[in-house]
A and B are shown apart, each in its own frame.
Chain A
């Protein structure tokens, strides 16, 4: 365990030196801060706009960090041959890969916390502003203070209730994407890994919709055929597509859980299933990455 922590620690040190990280973070923070201004322009609730944009920013930019920083982490170790001295030490390849994963997850986590703080502060800022006349200094001080309080007491204030639950679920989704970044990075180049990881994210998000859509089309076709008096079966391609849909992560489930947490906070039953699914899926992907990584020759 200590060895995994040592690798993770070193990975974190390496990741925070990546300038791409700061560019991504900057864009995310700008979007979060200005979401309030955007909220002013809409008919819908200002807080809904801030929340929607904030959640989206944390999710998408979190994925961007996992992808852009993550895909080169393992590859760099092989390319620069730093892996040579690591492998010769009394440490298993699985420990090395897990260390890399948790180091990257820590980097993603720290960035999510920073984005969340800005997001919470933005929410508190507009909520306090709507409360009454306050000067700017007071607004800033209380919103930042309340944002920090939220980190420890999740639903301490009205405007930010349920926000932390959403962040936690989002982080779990990011944990899956991070595992994919490590998996692809363990056997292919950064460019290909980036492509594969983004593709997995998009496929994962659209997974449920596509399955539902395909189901409907086939069902309609079968009904039409039966009505015409023909006896037909589900085509093989349908089963293949369904099989593929079960291999690709179902990220839509996280999205649904997030929506549930925001709009129907009283229904909690979804969580447990989604959390279990996220953890098991991540473990599976990491297991596969370890399997591949353990068998390969390094250049």
Chain B
């Protein structure tokens, strides 16, 4: 049994719109329906990092909002730890960081975490110990007594992450945890997520930053226009070989290398070395033989694997067409 289960979860937003047709002098009240999520069935296992991926408007945030009780599903069911949504005992065992979080900016980092600790019903002594440890973990000990309004975006994200870990949760839901962060901030968030897995926690996060997802996810689900297109381990989803080869050579003169340019998928010069991508195995062998025969040196040769980004574009474009 999965720790997070959804069964044909569907969310349809209805907006009341007033249509006016001045030509016919007619005013109509209509419902405009948007299907944000359609029959989403997921089964997340304990201890895994699951990434829900998809372009903007795919339904990632809607899924998390339903699981967190912020929105109610139009139809379908979901269970966390085997219990229906909204169960108070389950809520005390999960953590949540919303997308682009905004918090009470008049509170200091310490007061902010203390407030959330109180909502979990933690005693004062336990709160103090946990806040100290968390601020240390997210690298904000120095800013504990500063109001949040003075925090940078990265700091807000980190204190938000700390907030989601206040109760030592078994499942952590992170909605776009790395959006808006610089590369260093992204790495820090990534490290925290990986350390959560090491502690045996389940992490469910949404993202459109694929390279980050690729580095940390055990499994991913790809959502597009509210529908789950595929779900599985990265190794299963991605083509192991694209049939392309990538190589780097050194010590070969420019004329000899430029001779091949027309037949290569890519060729560029980086500090005297040539980096090339070739689509045929036989041609790759021929070029390498030629380069080595002319006194050049082969520095590396690797078959190109499909990246999550390649897969994502292939899937999304396939559906669009």
Binding site for B on A (CB under 8 A): 2-3, 6-7, 10, 13-14, 17, 80-92, 297-298
Query: Could you say which of B40-48, B64-72, B272-280 contacts chain A?
Result: B64-72
B residues engaging A (CB < 8 A)? 65, 68-72, 88-89, 91-92, 94, 96-98, 101-104, 106-107, 115-116, 118-121, 160, 163-164, 173
What total of A-B pairs shows CB separation below 8 Å? 73
CA distance A81 to B64 in the complex (A): 14
Q: Considering only CB atoms, which chain B residue lies closest to A10 in the complex?
A: B115
Does the CB pair B104–A298 fall under 8 Å?
no
| Contacts A82-B104, A297-B72; A89 near B116 (Cβ below 8 A) | yes
Please, which residues of chain A bring their CB within 8 A of the CB of B97?
85
Q: Which residues of A contact B91 (CB under 8 A)?
A: 88-91
Jot down 21 A-B pairs with beta carbons below 8 A, ordered by A.
A2-B118, A3-B118, A3-B119, A6-B119, A10-B104, A81-B98, A82-B103, A82-B104, A84-B98, A85-B97, A85-B98, A85-B101, A87-B69, A88-B91, A88-B94, A88-B173, A89-B92, A89-B116, A92-B88, A298-B65, A298-B71
Given contacts A13-B106, A14-B106, A80-B102, contact A88 B69 (CB under 8 A): yes
CA distance A67 to B102 in the complex (A): 25
Tell me, rounded to whole Å, the shortest Cβ–Cβ distance linking A163 to chain B: 35
A20 to chain B, nearest CB (A): 16
A13 and B112 CA atoms in complex are apart in Å by: 12
Chain A residues within 8 Å of B119, by CB: 3, 6-7, 86, 89-91
Known A81-B98, A81-B102, A84-B96: A89·B120 in contact at CB below 8 Å: yes
Cα A13 to Cα B111 in complex, Å, equals 11
The 7 closest A-B pairs by CB, nearest first: A6-B118, A88-B96, A90-B92, A90-B91, A84-B98, A89-B119, A88-B68
Task: List B contacts of A91 (CB < 8 A).
Answer: 91, 119
Scoring B70, B103, B116, B160 by chain A CB atoms within 10 A of each residue's CB, the highest score goes to B70
- On whether A13 and B121 interact (CB within 8 A), knowing A80-B102, A89-B116, the answer reads no
Tell me the minimal C-beta distance from A88 to chain B in angstroms: 4
Which of chain B's residues has its CB closest to A7's CB?
Answer: B119
Interface pair B118/A297, CB less than 8 Å apart? no
Determine which of B72, B88, B121, B163 lies in contact with A85 in the assembled complex, contact meaning CB atoms within 8 Å.
B163
CB contact under 8 A between A17 and B106, given known A6-B118, A85-B96 = yes
